Chains A and B, each alone.
Chain A
Amino acid sequence: MQTRCVLTLSVLGLCLATPRIGGAETEPSIAPEAVEFFETRIRPVLVERCYECHSANAKEVQGGLMLDNRAAIERGGESGKALIGDDAKASRLLVAMRYNDESLQMPPTGKLPDKVISDFERWVNIGAPDPRDGPVPPPPNSIEARARKHWAFTPPQLPETPAVEDTNLVATDIDRFVWARLRQSDLTPSLPADAHTRVRRLYGDLIGLPPTFEVTQAFKAEPSAAAYEKLVDRLLDSEHFGERWARHWLDVARFGDTKGYVFQEDRNYPHAYRYRDWVIQALNDDLPYDQFLQYQLAADRLVDDSNRAHLAAMGFLTLGRRFLNNTHDLIDDRIDVVFRGTMALTVGCTRCHDHKYDPLSMQDYYSSYGVFLSSREQQDDGLPLRLVDKDKPVNVRIFVRGNPSNRGEVAPRQFLSFFQSGEVKPFASGSGRLELAEAITSRSNPLTARVFVNRVWAHLFGEGLVRTPSDFGLRSDPPAHQALLDHLAVTFMEDGWSIKRLIRRIVLSSTYQQQSESRADAAAKDPENLLLWRANRRRLDFEAMRDSLLSVSGTLDSTVLGPSVRIDVADPSKRRTLYAFIDRQNLPGIFRTFDFASPDTHSPKRPNTTVPQQALYLMNNRLAQSIAEAMVSRLTGQVKTAAKIRQFYRFVYAREPTEEELAVGTNFIEASDGSDADSSIRDPWQFGYGSFAAGSDEAVTFHPLPHFTGDAWQGGPDRPDPKLGWVILNAKGGHAGDDESHSAIRRWTAAEEGTVIVSGKLEHPSEHGDGVRSRIVAARGGVLGEWTAKQQTLDTRTEPVKVQPGDTIDFITDCRTNQSHDTFHWSATIRMAKPKRREWKSETGFHGPLPELLDVWARYAQTLLLTNEFMFLD
Chain B
Amino acid sequence: MTSDFLSRRELLSRCGMGIGSLALAQLATGPSADAAANNPLLPKQPHFPAIAKHVIHLFMNGGPSHVDTFDPKPELQARGGEKLSDGNLKTERPTGELYPSPYSFQKYGESGIEVSEIFSHVGECVDDLAIVRSMHADVPNHEPSLLLMNCGEARQIRPSFGSWLTYGLGTENQNLPAFVAMCPGGYPIQESQNWQAGFLPGIYQGTYIDTKHTQIEKLIANIKNTRVSRAHQRQQLDLLAKLNQRHLEQRQNDAQLEARIQSFELAYRMQMEATDAFDVSGEPQHILDMYGPGTQARQTLIARRLVERGVRFVQVWHGNGQPWDSHDDIEVNHRRLAKQCDQAIAALIKDLKQRGLLNETLILWGGEFGRTPVVELPKKGSNQGKINGRDHNHWGFTTWMAGGGVKGGHVHGATDEFGFKAVENRVHVHDLHATMLRQLGFDHEKLTYRYAGRDFRLTDVHGTVVHDLIA
Interface residues of A (CB under 8 A from B): 260-261, 321, 323-324, 326, 329, 332, 336, 340, 346, 348-349, 355-358, 470-471, 473, 475, 517-520, 537, 539, 585-587, 589-593, 595-596, 598, 600-601, 607-617, 619-621, 625, 660-661, 664, 667-668, 671-672, 675, 678, 680-681, 836-839, 844, 850-854, 859-860, 862-864, 866-869, 871-872, 874
A601 near B197 with CB under 8 A, answer: no
Q: Is the CB of A667 within 8 A of B15?
A: yes
Partner of A680, one of B203, B227, B229: B229
Q: Can you identify 24 A-B contacts, CB atoms within 8 angstroms?
A: A520-B252, A589-B208, A598-B197, A609-B202, A609-B203, A610-B38, A610-B260, A611-B41, A611-B263, A612-B267, A615-B266, A616-B223, A620-B222, A681-B225, A681-B230, A837-B284, A854-B232, A859-B235, A860-B239, A863-B240, A866-B264, A868-B247, A868-B248, A869-B247
- A294, chain B: closest CB distance, angstroms: 24
- Interface residue ranges of B240-266 to A (CB < 8 Å): 240, 242-244, 246-248, 251-254, 256-257, 259-264, 266
**Is A867 in contact with B244, judged by CB distance below 8 angstroms?**
yes
CB of A858, distance to nearest CB on chain B (Å): 8
12 A-B pairs besides A355-B453, A671-B15 with CB distance below 8 A are A326-B155, A592-B203, A608-B256, A611-B41, A615-B260, A619-B264, A620-B223, A668-B235, A839-B281, A853-B229, A868-B244, A872-B256
Contacts of B252 in A (CB 8 A): 517-520
Q: Which residues of B contact A872 (CB under 8 A)?
A: 256-257
Select which of A664, A671, A837, A868 is within 8 A of B260 by beta carbon. Answer: A868
Contacts of A357 in B (CB 8 A): 453
Structural contact, B232 and A672, CB atoms closer than 8 A = yes
B114-161 at interface with A (beta carbon < 8 Å): 143, 155-157
Please encode chain B, from 23 to 65, with 1 for each CB lying within 8 Å of some chain A CB and 0 for all others. Answer: 0000000000000001111000000000000000000000000
Contact A668 B452 (CB under 8 A): no
Q: How far is the CB of B131 from chain A (nearest CB, A)?
A: 32
Q: Please give, as numbers and ranges, the residues of chain A lying within 8 Å of B222 by CB-CB distance.
A: 613, 616-617, 619-621
Which residues of the other chain, B, contact A340 by a CB distance below 8 angstroms? Answer: 452
Q: Evaluate contact between B453 and A473: CB separation under 8 angstroms.
A: yes
Contact A586 B192 (CB under 8 A): yes
CA distance A324 to B193 in the complex (A): 14
B355 interface contact, C-beta 8 A: no
State whether B38 touches A537 (Cβ < 8 A). Answer: no
* Chain B residue contacts of A867, Cβ below 8 A: 240, 243-244, 247
Residue B214 interfacial (CB < 8 Å): yes
Which chain A residue shows the least CB distance to B226?
A: A851
A207 nearest CB across to chain B (Å): 23
CA of A874 to CA of B256, assembled, Å: 12
Evaluate contact between B281 and A838: CB separation under 8 angstroms.
Answer: yes
Task: Point out the residue from A598, A612, A672 that lies within 8 Å of B263, measured CB to CB.
Answer: A612
Q: Is B81 an interface residue (CB 8 A)?
A: no
Report the nearest B residue to A355, measured CB to CB. B453
A586 touches B191 (CB 8 A): yes
Q: Assess whether B236 is in contact with A863, with CB atoms less than 8 Å apart.
A: yes
Q: Which residues of B contact A862 (CB under 8 A)?
A: 228, 236
Chain B residues 249 to 295 lying within 8 A of chain A, measured CB to CB, are: 251-254, 256-257, 259-264, 266-268, 270-271, 281-284
Distance in angstroms from B451 CB to nearest chain A CB is 9
B202 touches A613 (CB 8 A): no
| Alpha-carbon separation in the docked complex, A723 to B227 (Å) | 32
The answer to whether B229 and A539 touch across the interface, beta carbons within 8 angstroms, is no
Note all chain A residues with C-beta closer than 8 A to B321.
Answer: none
Where the two chains meet, the residues of B that have a C-beta atom closer than 8 Å to any C-beta of A are 15, 38-41, 143, 155-157, 174-175, 177, 187, 190-193, 196-199, 201-203, 205, 207-208, 214-215, 221-233, 235-236, 239-240, 242-244, 246-248, 251-254, 256-257, 259-264, 266-268, 270-271, 281-284, 452-454
* Complex contacts, A625 vs chain B, CB 8 Å: 227-228
Contact B155 A323 (CB under 8 A): yes
B432 CB to closest chain A CB (Å) equals 23
The 10 closest A-B pairs by CB, nearest first: A346-B453, A592-B202, A615-B267, A607-B201, A678-B229, A612-B267, A612-B266, A518-B252, A610-B259, A620-B225
Could you tell me if A349 and B452 are in contact, using CB atoms closer than 8 angstroms?
A: yes
A625 to B224, alpha carbons, bound, how many Å?
A: 13
A330 to nearest B CB, angstroms? 11
Chain B residues with CB below 8 A from A591, complex form: 202
Name, among B193, B224, B227, B243, the residue most crowded by chain A CB atoms within 10 Å (CB to CB).
B227
Contact B233 A619 (CB under 8 A): yes
Known: A681-B229, A851-B227, A866-B240. A612 touches B15 (CB 8 A): no
Residue contact A600 to B214, C-beta cutoff 8 Å: no
Complex partner residue of A329 from B156, B246, B453, CB under 8 angstroms: B156
Cβ B282 vs Cβ A596 within 8 A: no
Distance, CA A678 to CA B202, complexed state (A): 37
In this complex, which of A346, A518, A615, A681 has the most chain B Cβ atoms within 10 angstroms of its Cβ? A615
Chain B residue numbers with a CB within 8 Å of A358 are 453
**B203 A601 Cβ-Cβ under 8 A:** no
* Complex partner residue of B242 from A596, A612, A664, CB under 8 angstroms: A664
Let me know if A854 and B261 touch, CB within 8 A.
Answer: no
Give the CA-CA distance A689 to B201 in the complex, in Å.
53
- Report chain B residues within 8 Å CB of A620: 222-225, 228, 271
Q: Is B224 a contact partner of A601 (Cβ separation < 8 A)?
A: no
Q: Are B240 and A348 in contact (CB under 8 A)?
A: no
CB distance from A843 to the nearest CB of B (A): 11
Contact of B235 among A332, A671, A680, A836 (CB under 8 A): A671
- Complex Cα spacing A610 to B174, Å: 12
- Least CB separation from B235: chain A residue: A672
How far apart sit A71 and B233, CA to CA, in the bound complex (Å)?
79
A616–B227 contact, CB under 8 A? no
Contact status B260-A539, CB under 8 Å: yes
A residues less than 8 Å from B253 (CB atoms): 518
Q: Are A868 and B257 in contact (CB under 8 A)?
A: yes
Would you give the shortest CB distance from A548 to chain B, in whole angstroms? 15
Whole-angstrom CA separation of A261 from B270 in the bound complex: 33
The answer on a CB contact under 8 Å between B193 and A261 is yes
CB distance from A420 to the nearest CB of B (A): 21
Residues A261 and B38 in contact in the complex (CB < 8 Å), given A612-B270, A862-B236? no
Contact in complex: B192, A590 (CB < 8 Å):
no
Provide the bound-state CA to CA distance between A332 and B156, in Å: 10
Which of chain A's residues have a CB closer than 8 A to the CB of B251?
A: 517, 537, 874
Contacting pair B226 A680 (CB below 8 A): no
Measured between beta carbons, the chain A residues less than 8 angstroms from B257 are: 537, 868, 872
Which residue of chain B has its CB nearest to the CB of A516? B251
List chain B residues, Cβ under 8 A from A672: 232, 235
